Structure 1
Amino acid sequence: MRNLFFISFLILSLGLQAQTALYNSGNIRIHEEGQIGFHTNLINDASFDQNVGLAGFYGNNAITVSGAFMPIFYDIEFFNDNGVYLNTSMALTNDANFVGGDVITPRNLLDIYLNFLQNGDYFSVSDITKVDGYAAITDKQFFSFPVGNAQQIRPLILNSEAVNTLSKCAYFFEDPNNPTTFATSFNTSRKTRDVDVVSTTEFWHLTGNVPSTITISWNQNSNISRLTDAAYKVGIAGWSKVGNQWVDLGSVAQGGDLTDGFVSSEVFVPDDYAAITLASLAIPTEVVSLDNYYLTPNNDGLNDALVIPELEQSPNNHVRIFDRFGLKVFDKVNYTNEFRGYSNTGNVVVGEKNGLPAGVYFYLVTLDDLGTEYQGFLYLRR
């Protein structure tokens, strides 16, 4: 960290003392193992895309990135509690470390976003550090968009049938009947017969032309109890651009209760829908719950593995475990007590070798021999 601050000071002291921004008109490049720290605004009016080191955005004052050219960094670190504001898009080719503060984009300008390129990823996002506005992906098939608003992270997990050339996503904590940044409203009273009640609390905007499924979650701020009295009825609805109404996008995988949970959609094309949100659906059957489980994988012989006695009645089974946002972290057909707090899906990037972080997870169990499905909570402690 000291090196980053020192380098930043050198750059500012070489002729930029009286200015409030670092102005790039060319000839800046971060070489391998190189590091640069920005403590002031960046105006990028030249190519700044051959970087292989680390760029950090630090300080106590908000930083603005603007200019005619999109800067493309290798590794990025965000540690500014007052935020990094993008007035032009910014991209990364490797990792973004969200230490503190949001990356903020104008929601009324769809062409400004933080773009995760083919090998770009992130870690450490939370309610206090995320993308407040639009995040995007290029040349990716699976991604969890780290989006939210100023108060909370509300990710959307995208799983496409092919690679997306470009897909963008933003979260809106507002009533879709009166959106602040769209030219039209999404009337929640206009819906197909299989959609019961549409959320007036929040929605997402997702673009992309590849058939995909999505997973979104809810929390106590989502007010799910206003939609339904049973969590198993929660599904996903999309505002059809053709029909100008909310339609059912499905409820394929689902878990949780009226306070916290997640749901996954059926396959659809994101560009066919102007908004996506949670809704109660006309679902006739209830998913039965098993017990909630407590797991402490510390090799003391107690609760080291997830053991579900009911699986003895159905050797042909399928066990899936999801985090609180609906990201699948474990998947096993014909489960026989293999889960010991480690992911086997490849979706978890940070700390995967050290096991999943402590917290609440949801499990979904399908008993093929009995033709039934169960769900419940799993509490993981380390």
Structure 2
Amino acid sequence: MKRGHYIGAFVVATLLLFKSYSQEAFHNFGNLQIHTDGEVGFHMDLINDGTFNQNEGFAGFYSPDDRLTISGTNRPVFYNMEIDVFDDLFLEVATGVRNFQQFTTGRVQTPRNRGSITTSLDYLNDAPYAGEDDEHFVDGYASLTGDLDFTFPIGDDFRLRPMRIQDGASANTSRGAYFFEDPNFPNFFSDRFDTESRAPTLFAVSIFEFWDLDGDTETRVTLTWDDNSNIPTLVEDLDGLRVVGWNETTGEWDNLGNAGTTGNLSNGEITSDPFIPNNYVVLTFGSSDRILDGDLEIFTAVSPNGDGLNDTFIIQGIAQFPNNELSIFNRWGVLVYNKKGYDNSWGGISEGRATIAKGEELPVGTYYYVLKIDGQKDQAGYLYINR
């Protein structure tokens, strides 16, 4: 049901005066406010070149057969806001909502090029929203300023693909968008994100989609997937899936971890380890840091930080082969660990001699392992320590 136009006598007079000259847009040059219990429905474009950010009532944007646009030099901020626009609501200036926002018809379109990311739909003071689905979302950038967990209602190409951050991550504002395109050939970024350039613990990176998340506070991020994400091209099961981020400094994709997954290979979500979003240009999915070799499953990432995840070098199935010997070397070929009858107990501590003191924590970096099992061919490869 469409809302009415009551916003107080002064504003109604201003609106009617403008409409007598033009049916195209409501242009604010002054200082307007929708008061408590006031309601206004915009059936035309809004141009805000004045002050329109102290609203306490309701604002709706309505068009049954066309698009609407919000533009101007100043950001309007609404208390409650409804979007019911057949051909989408286009933002050419950032627009804020402080209390609640309803998706009814159409999407909110915001610029995707990096030079315009400050033009976004801004959820202020942890403002919630409702009505999001594959036809109702922010097609472009949305931002949050607040203290609670938040899921960005973002998507692309009539596909809602939300991204969630933890509480406390948006005290200084976080901003996000979703891109249904190959990161090797992005349309809205000046650089490409080479999926063949990746950290040693990664074996593949998605070529189907990516997210942009900006923020200066450490958080875990949760990404979602659907059938079009083609997750089976990366992993055979969700234990091997990882969140990955493009590190502009090193020019490669970093492994941001897998703190938990839900769903299946067709639909689900994955949560990363904590990281600072501004350290990574874009995010997507990567394959596991493990190797399947016969009856063995070798996890090639070691993060001995006491969180219970990959604290030791795990070779799943090694108990079946007690007559084994594991040797680990650093990048200069110095032996840093050796054990006969390896039992998944090594946590990145040097057991070597010469240049590496025994009992010393080994630094972050890439190492080389050799696994010998009686009666089988030696197995060798790289592993990565990350503290």
Q: Settle same-fold status: TM greater than 0.5.
A: yes
Q: Within 5 Å, which residues of 2 pair with 1:72-221?
A: 72-108=77-113, 109-161=116-168, 163-221=170-228
Cα drift, residue 278 of structure 1: 1.0
Task: Give the distance between the partners of 1:3 and 1:103, measured in 2 at CA.
Answer: 19
8 A Cα contact 1:213 1:264, kept in partner: yes
Cα drift, residue 82 of structure 1: 0.7
More relative contact order, 1 or 2 (CA 8 Å, 6+ apart): 1
Instruction: Name the structure 1 match of 2:19.
Output: 16
Task: Give the distance between the partners of 1:11 and 1:63, measured in 2 at CA.
Answer: 20
Moved more, 137-146 or 166-175: 137-146
- Secondary structure at 1:73's aligned position in 2? strand
Q: Within 5 Å, which residues of 2 pair with 1:266-281?
A: 266-281=273-288
- Structure 2's unaligned 5+ residue stretches are 293-387
Please, which of 236, 246, 251 is the counterpart of residue 239 of structure 1? Answer: 246
- Return closer, same or farther for 1:235/1:104 CA change in 2, 3 Å cut-off: same
**Amino acid paired to 2:198:** K
Cα drift, residue 232 of structure 1: 2.4
Two-structure CA RMSD over aligned residues (Å): 2.0
Task: Give the distance between the partners of 2:285 and 2:19, measured in 1 at CA.
Answer: 50
8 A Cα contact 2:103 2:136, kept in partner: yes
Cα drift, residue 160 of structure 1: 4.7
- Secondary structure at 2:239's aligned position in 1? helix
8 A Cα contact 2:126 2:145, kept in partner: no
8 A Cα contact 2:112 2:188, kept in partner: yes
**Amino acid paired to 1:43:** I
- Secondary structure at 1:149's aligned position in 2? coil
Please, which of 25, 31, 48 is the counterpart of residue 29 of structure 2? Answer: 25
**Amino acid paired to 1:79:** D
Instruction: Name the structure 1 match of 2:72.
Output: 67
Instruction: Name the structure 1 match of 2:268.
Output: 261
- Return closer, same or farther for 1:2/1:272 CA change in 2, 3 Å cut-off: closer
Please, which of 35, 38, 42 is the counterpart of residue 34 of structure 1? Answer: 38
8 A Cα contact 1:117 1:140, kept in partner: no
- Secondary structure at 1:57's aligned position in 2? strand
Task: Give the distance between the partners of 1:2 and 1:263, measured in 2 at CA.
Answer: 39
8 A Cα contact 1:160 1:210, kept in partner: no
Task: Give the distance between the partners of 1:26 and 1:205, measured in 2 at CA.
Answer: 36
Residue identity (%): 35
Task: Give the distance between the partners of 1:203 and 1:74, measured in 2 at CA.
Answer: 32
Q: Deviations over 1:9-45 (max 9, x none)?
A: 9875433242411000113210101110111111000
- Secondary structure at 2:18's aligned position in 1? coil
Instruction: Name the structure 2 match of 1:4.
Output: 4
Task: Give the distance between the partners of 1:14 and 1:86, measured in 2 at CA.
Answer: 25
- Return closer, same or farther for 1:223/1:66 CA change in 2, 3 Å cut-off: same
- TM-score calculated relative to the size of structure 1: 0.71
- Secondary structure at 1:98's aligned position in 2? strand
- Structure 1's unaligned 5+ residue stretches are 286-382
Task: Give the distance between the partners of 1:55 and 1:16, measured in 2 at CA.
Answer: 18
The structure having more radius of gyration, on CA atoms, is 2
